[in-house]
Structure 1
């Protein structure tokens, strides 16, 4: 038998995933059945103590036989935060209404959903193919991979699309060293949050081995941060210019 295992979902796996997705989507507009307080608690702890969410993942597995969320409250609040921060982004960039609509489209359907589907599918495949023992018949749920991406994406969303906006026109948009340092530090913190929370999410799955590989990009991110400071490359300002150009 070859040492490289190629993962392929069985019809049973696909049917189960489809049923879970269908149940999830049926709840998306039933706000009275959502636990928004618990979702807000999760969002808060993603900032101050993301490691505590491991207990939530494992408790859900024990009580509901799945790691993925079955309550869309987190997704609804996430979409609300994304929309509100996009308004603030548009004000800072001085976009017209039509440009705001185009920017919102790119942020929601390309940066969040499109990238999220791609990353979740990639990590779902990699974990099931390379990080799970061949003798274990239980697989990582695709819905869980998407949940991990949303968890990891939320702190960067708030840092880059909300908190950073208060400093952009006054400091970050200038050519000062402080502008480069502050803007690039926002991106450094966002990337560290993303990789750390991604690691914590998959590390909560007891069926996986070597989840520390999710932390491999961290020293490279720090190195790129130091290089950007040294060559005086303002990441935030350049990306803001890209966002403005994208909606022209």
Structure 2
């Protein structure tokens, strides 16, 4: 009977780190390449029976109440599947479904036609969510690997897919704040020249963007091979200052963005 033994190096590493770090480099030979991971991910987009939508909904809920639990699960995935990034596109598909519902609500608020609604949906999903997400994820992936790793010679690095997942995680609460909750107040309060209008509208944007920054910080702060991740939070004071200036100057950010949305689908 064939016997299997653990490598001493593997045991010592797991004991010293609590089993949260990836396996040593010797075991990485079995890991899939980045291209293979992307192919596997995209191939499952149309295989709904293989997706765990219930777990994706659980993640969406906990991104509000306890986002640390969501990122703890990414560590478990690294231990079991040798990658931090999701291998199940259920979260992205559910997010796209929520974007579709919110786009219909936007069409009602902005009085858009069918063609304009389709254009708006394409912009929101492909440009605002996925397109901007690719840019943001690439920037964090590049600068994180170059400047935030504790040891540049360490084989552990930020997976691009994980950087994109961090964007999706951070985008969802911001989207709910700005694309759903804000709509309930837009026509009745925000779309006016009153002080309370710009205060409420700009507050939605401040909370939404700050939540995006915070969840992004949590995503990179939980990686044990990174340091100085608190630099991500340094943008919060700048956002607060910008918020105060916008209130004092009389700039209603929500009204400006709504006008932008309306003009780009004409």
Q: 1:21 aligns with which of 28, 33, 38?
A: 38
Find out whether 1:206 has 2:224 as its counterpart: yes
What SS does the corresponding residue of 1:216 show, helix, strand or coil? helix
Distance 1:58 1:201 in 2: 11
Residue in 1 that maps onto 2:238 = 220
Shift of 1:135: 2.6
What SS does the corresponding residue of 1:167 show, helix, strand or coil? helix
Residue in 1 that maps onto 2:196 = 178
What SS does the corresponding residue of 2:57 show, helix, strand or coil? helix
Residue in 2 that maps onto 1:125 = 142
Distance 2:39 2:152 in 1: 29
Give the conservation status (yes or no) of the 8 Å contact 1:57–1:204.
no
Find out whether 1:239 has 2:257 as its counterpart: yes
Find out whether 1:60 has 2:77 as its counterpart: yes
Distance 1:95 1:205 in 2: 44
Q: 2:153 aligns with which of 135, 142, 150?
A: 135
Distance 1:154 1:233 in 2: 26
Unpaired runs of at least 5, structure 2: 1-28
Aligned length: 235
Distance 1:80 1:105 in 2: 12
Shift of 1:64: 1.1
TM-score (norm 1): 0.92
Find out whether 1:158 has 2:165 as its counterpart: no
Distance 2:211 2:63 in 1: 9
Shift of 1:54: 2.4
Distance 2:117 2:106 in 1: 9
**More relative contact order, 1 or 2 (CA 8 Å, 6+ apart):** 1
Find out whether 1:33 has 2:50 as its counterpart: yes
What SS does the corresponding residue of 2:192 show, helix, strand or coil? coil
CA offsets, 1:83-112, max 9 Å, x none? 111111111000111111111121122111
Unpaired runs of at least 5, structure 1: 1-11
Shift of 1:195: 0.3
What SS does the corresponding residue of 2:33 show, helix, strand or coil? helix
Compute the RMSD of aligned alpha carbons: 1.2
Runs of 4+ in 1 over 3 A off after TM superposition: none
